[in-house]
Every structure is written in C-alpha cells, then in structure tokens.
A and B are shown apart, each in its own frame.
Chain A
C-alpha cells in the first residue's frame, strides 16, 4: 500500500470522525473546511486547527466537499487550488453561482503563479504558498470566526 492510498484512507477517517463527532470537530455554527488532495497537508492543517480549538473538516477533493451536507456553511474555506477533478477555483465559482452565500476563501498552493491569478478575486480572503507558516494561516482564519 502506497503513501497515497494511506493518505486517502486517513482523509476518509478524519472526515468520518468529524461527522460522527468522535473527534473534536468544528462546532455546528463555526467551522473551517480544509480541502487539499495531499493527505499530510490536510491532516497537518487539521491538527493545527485542533490545537487552536478551531473546528475543522477536511476534504480530499472539491467533489467531496460538495457532497458533504453540513448543517451550516463553514466560516471559511482553506482551499487548495490544484485538485483532482474540479479545481479549487472552479469550486469557488460554482459555490458563488449555486449557494446563497460563499464563505471567505483562503487559497493555498505550492505555485505562486496560480495564487497570483486569484489574488485580486473578490472571493479571495487570502493566499498562502505552501509551505507556509502556521501562524500566517491562523492570522487569516481567526478573524473570520
């Protein structure tokens, strides 16, 4: 079993734990959605949120996020721009088109040029290039909660 499959399984486990409440997931009213296809990034971010007492749910793809029926919208999205299938930006556009409200989005990517292309978008709350400082992420997330 390769790292990737292990990562996928872990992601599934986290998501399940969060939904089933076995895990100190996000509160019903305030929570953060973390969408990244890279498992270790996802879990790393989730761990940092947990340490800060912020509820977070992780998703391996845009489709997975859309499939997830949460009672409330997240306070913000930490969204990887490159995702298998639907890209991060496409998801943002889709949400804007189909949902009454779109949470502020923090775009993350390993690629500066991708981030630059969305830096001025009105849906963009902030951009972070991987690897980024955890404090930088928290500084962007905390004001939204």
Chain B
C-alpha cells in the first residue's frame, strides 16, 4: 500500500517537475524505463585504466541502485581531436541523440569533459544532473559549477604528499625533475607538481622536462643527476602533437630515469615507478558510482550532494625500492607496499603447505606402515629372542643345576669316597703287616685273614666305583633322549645319593611309593636332579627339628604322575612362598638360590608343574606333577609293603 502511494507521489512529482522543465516526455518515460547513465570520456575509453574505471563504475551503480541501469558512453578524445570541445555539430549531434532518448545522469570523466557537459551538452539536456569524475583543481573550479553539477575532484596540492614521500625516501636528493607532456591536462599536472615543490618546507631545485617528444625526452632524462626526485606529472600529448596513453610509456620513462620516479596514478605503479600519493581508479570508480546513486535517489526538490575531494593514498612498489636501494622503513605510515617480492615461503606457501601436507600425509602413511612392519618384526624378533633365551636359559639353568648339584653333592661324594678309600688303605696296610710279621709259611689263619682283607678291598673298591658312576651320571652335560622314567626308582636313587647327608643330619627318610610305578617320559638325570634338589631342601628345612623327617611319596593320579617331598620343618611363610621359584632367592645362609628355579625349569620342560604348600600338621610339601605315561609294572600292595620294609634301612644309611 505504501509502495503504491510512493509510486503515485513519484509520478505526480515528476509530472509537476516535467511541466516546469518543459520536458514532459522524459519525465513520463522515466517511471517505466531503466535508469540511463551517460558517461562522457575526455580521452579514449579503451585504455586499460579507463576500462577498469568504467567497469567498476557500472558495477557499483547497478549494484547499489538495485534497479535496471543502462550505460551509454561517448569517448571524445579531446587530446587528439582538438577543437571538438567547442564544435557545434558534435554538440547538436549528441544533444539530439540523447534528448529524445532520455538520460538520467551524465558522468563526465575529466575536467574538459565536465566543461563540455556543462557548457555544450547541457544546452541540449537541460537540468540532467551531472556527476563529474577524475577532475582536478585548479583546472576545474568546483565552486563555479551550476546547481545540477557535483562530482569528485583532486586537490591542487595533490602532489605535495608525493613529494613528501620522495623526500623521506631520498633525504639526500636536492632536485625535483618534473616530466610532463604538452597537452592541457599535462600542463595542469606539471603546474601542480611545481607548486607543490614550492610549498615544501625546504624547497628543492625544480627542473621541468615538458612537451619533449618521447625520443628526445628519454636521452635527456638519462643525463639528470642521480640524486634527483623524478615526478611523472602526465604525458598525454608530446610537443609534436603525438597523443599517448601514459600507461603505455610510463615504463620506458621510468627505466630511462637514473633516479627514482614518482607519479599520481596508482595505475602507473608496477611500470617502474617507485610510488607516490596516488589516485586509485578502482577506488575512485566505486566512490563516483556511489555519488551517482545518491544523485539518482534524490527526492524531488532535493539539492545535489556537494562536490567531494579525492583522497589519495600512499602506494609504493617494493621492487623499485629495492632497485634504488630505498628503505621501506622510511615510507610514510600507512603506505601500501605493492609487489613485495614474497619470500619463497610467502610465494609458494600454499604450494609448499599443500606439498608438505601431501608429503606429510604420505610420510605418515609410509611411516605408520613401516612402524607397523617394524613393530611386527620387532615383536617377532622379541618373541624369537625370548624363545632363544628361554631355551638358552633352560640349558644354562639345567647345566647350572647340575653344577650346583655337584656342589651340593661334593661333600657327600667326598665323604662317601673317603670311607672305602680309607678302608682299602688300612686293609692293605694290615695285610702288609701280617705278611711282614709272619716269616714262616703262611698258616691257615694268616691265609684266611689275607683272603678277608682282599675281599674287603675288592668290596670297598666296588663301593667307590658305585659312587663315582652315580656322580658321573649326574654331572653329565648332554641331555638324554626322552625315555620312560620310573619315578619310584628316581626317588630311591636320589635317597641313596644323599644317604651320607641323611645319616650326618640324623634325619629319617620315609618312602610312600605308589606300587603302580608312576612313569613319565623325560630325562632320568634331570628328573633325578629335581628329586635331589627337593630332598636337599627338605633336609635343610627340617635340620633344626629334633627328629628331622622327610617323606618321599609318588602317586598316579588321573593321567598324571606325582612326586611329593615333605619335611617336618617350620613350613613356608607367605613371603617365602611368593618368591620360592625366583632365581637366587634363598633362605639358606650359603645357598645359591638356584635349586627351585632349576626344578621348575626342568619340570616345565617335562610339561609339568611344581607346587609348594604347607602341610596341615606343619612342614612344607613340594609337589611335582607331570603327565604320566602309565605304569611299567603293576605291583600289589603287599609287594609294596615288602619293598618299603626293604627300603627302610636306606633311612638308616645302609644301602641295599
């Protein structure tokens, strides 16, 4: 509703305005047709800076206005077509062209375009608002413009900040060389530079190279002293009437100059110019466009917005600073530094990061794969090493076991051997004595004595041989192939080996051997070590007892064969029980602490287990359980009893 009201108000107002302006057709048409913008260029419109300017201007107006906009352009190229500015045919042509068509705003670009628009075109398009762009004082006087004119204008002293910048960068410069063309625009710029130079706090010498044809200008320029500030004012027309787009020649001029060159247009930066307080066409197009939109949106009767002053910005070319050895640190604050040669890192950061990322990801992948592979390999190696060590340790332990056992048995062996050896010696001596004391033929009694003596010597020799054979079997290094081993026999032999110890300690060994003859498959020597170790431990454990007693029992239980050695010592404390099977753990003052680890190692090799527990009525029980291989012979309980009775003397140290 409000929208419709606004439309009606607008139509009504335009109608009234149109009546008063005696142009009813244009006003009537405007309500229905797109907004029309006529851009009038003072120069050609196809130069790069102008194309950029035109494009940004169009974009800004279309975007900000929000309605359909039509653009028209007239590039008058006054520098080359001198005199056209006052040409009546051109004026009439353009006036006719756009009067019937209808134009909502005229945008003259450049001071002379503005003059043309106001003075000539305005006669054909009366009251059409004019928004000028890229004009400069004092060539254009903003205060002398009609009511329907506004725009953006550069200050007459626009070169002063540029000179400031130049002096900051080149403190030792003592001369300003101004380069300008022969055209009117060139002249105003040159004049602006000269006046700006004059306003400097510490005025410099100013030399002007103006209006020279390019082929004369460049050699002249090359001769100027190096400690100069070169200012490129403008160069649209040379002295011979040759017109130029300054952008096309600024590069060659800058490169010919033996000193840093400054300019007033951002477009020239990048062509070899150091920098300056410059007008940026892109910024300027946007600001001009916005001003145009404000003008188009004026309410009826509203005055035109005021003329705006173009605000230049400090811009410098980093490469040129490098070229002239100027310090970027001396640039005025807020200077935009262009073309800063990025470091490899800056230039290729994205590529580098991406590459690094890819490499990193690949490396990570490869790394993780390698790590995984290595981990597996290591785990495998560790496993192999552990296996190898375990085997080695087992071998070592078994051997150490034998060695330790030899140590344990050394005393027993020597005791055992001493007895028969001593007896042999004494018998031999007695025999010698008998023979020496009897000079006559040997009597029956002497003969009988000698027979007895020799019999005793033979018997003692046999005894010594028995002991040696038994010990040699125990310390034999090589393992025997697995064979059926009768545990009962192992127990008996072990007790026999230790009989001296048993007697010396006044201990009592009791057998409770299973008549089913528990048999396992394994190494008989190793198994004998096990039982010997357990027996020695048991004897040690009950040594303090008043009646030391060790019981050896065997049993067949399910598929398993068991040997148990029990003592009537103090039993095992919890602490001792916990560390029993650790190497070098011992409760004995002179023990090696190898006995039980050896026992465990051997039994594990026989796929069995060792268990230590306390007996209910005191003392410790060590149980060795191994997979049984059945019974060799089945004995009846009565046979067992007989056997046990026969074994009893063993406890008393008498071998069978």
Contacts and interface: CB of A to CB of B under 8 A. Distances in A.
Interface of A: 2-8, 37-41, 43-45, 47-48, 50-51, 82, 84-85, 87, 110-111, 130-134
Interface of B: 415, 418-427, 429-430, 433-434, 437, 449, 452-453, 456-457, 459-460, 462-463, 466, 503-504, 506, 652-656
A37 B456 contact: no
Summarize B's interface: helix, strand, loop or mixed.
helix
Contact of B656 (A2, A39, A44, A132): A2
B423 A38 contact: yes
24 contacts: A3-B459, A3-B462, A4-B463, A37-B653, A38-B419, A39-B459, A40-B427, A40-B456, A44-B423, A44-B427, A45-B426, A47-B430, A47-B452, A47-B453, A48-B433, A51-B433, A51-B437, A51-B449, A84-B652, A87-B506, A131-B423, A131-B429, A132-B426, A134-B429
| Ranked 4 nearest A-B pairs via Cβ | A130-B422, A40-B456, A131-B425, A110-B418
A139 B434 CA distance: 17
Contact of A43 (B418, B456, B653): B456
A3 B415 contact: no
Contacts of B654: 4-5, 8, 84
A7 B421 contact: no
Summarize A's interface: helix, strand, loop or mixed.
helix
Contact of B452 (A5, A43, A51, A111): A43
Contacts of A130: 418-419, 422-423, 426
A41 B430 CA distance: 11
Given A130-B422, A131-B421, A6 B459 contact: yes
A12 B460 CA distance: 18
Given A38-B419, A130-B418, 14 more contacts: A3-B460, A3-B463, A4-B463, A4-B655, A8-B654, A40-B460, A45-B426, A50-B449, A82-B503, A87-B506, A110-B419, A130-B419, A131-B422, A134-B426
B439 to A, nearest CB: 14
A110 B462 CA distance: 19
Given A40-B420, A131-B421, A7 B506 contact: no
A134 B433 contact: yes
B416 to A, nearest CB: 10
B653 A39 contact: no
Nearest to B653: A84
B652 A47 contact: no
A5 B652 CA distance: 12
Contacts of A110: 415, 418-419, 422
Contacts of A5: 654-656
Contacts of B422: 41, 110, 130-131
Contacts of A8: 654
Contacts of A85: 506, 652
B469 to A, nearest CB: 13
Given A131-B422, A134-B429, A47 B463 contact: no
Contacts of B433: 48, 51, 134
A43 B449 CA distance: 10
Nearest to B651: A84
